[in-house]
Amino acid sequence: MSESIVIIDYNIGNLRSVQKSFEKNDCDAIITNNHEKILNADKIILPGVGSFRDGMDGLLNLGLVEILNESVINNKKPFLGICLGMQLMANRSYENIETKGLGWIDSEIVRFDFNLTGKDLKIPHVGWNSVTFEADCPWYKGIPNESDFYFVHSYHYSLNENVATGITDYGYQFTSSLQKNNLFGCQFHPEKSQEFGLKIINNFIAL
């Protein structure tokens, strides 16, 4: 019997491109915000592009925060947060206005600030950049260290716990991926990262 994998539809994000990355790995993943389907799923994906507040509003308005807490925190289902989906796992974000997150990772989401480095880099951080693996994370299996992945973001994690699995340099070093028990997150977009991005999706499927 094949596993059930769901991609959370909360009216934000590039859901179809994420779904296609699973299809390229010969895996069906359904896009849904149906509570029963999420509770019955074996693995859960939360993609996302856009603002932190819009993301949290989408989850709250659809009653998904309680469902995700039940599935991911209580029942320990493997969870993958992509870009904004990774950021929403934090305690809070300071994007535009302070907004409470899911609180799964002890962290704040902050804007790139190059004042201390003196570097003049564009925000958002857009394009290919390398990820240095900081820990033995199963979803990097078979991928060379310091491989390139595709990024689009203006905000990043400021971690208060040691859960980083990938570090990227853009003016300074920031956390570009993490793992905490059954929680996985990447700031980059694996669905847009060609060969190695598809490999990450395949490794997540194989967990």
Residues taking part in catalysis: 83, 189, 191
Residues with Cβ within 8 Å of 57's Cβ and at least 6 positions away in sequence, in order, are none
CA 201 to chain CA mean position, Å: 12
Residues with Cβ within 8 Å of 178's Cβ and at least 6 positions away in sequence, in order, are 86, 105, 157, 159, 163, 164, 165, 166, 184, 185
Residue 64: CB atoms within 10 A of its CB come to 19
User: Residue 44's beta-bridge partner residues?
Assistant: 6, 79
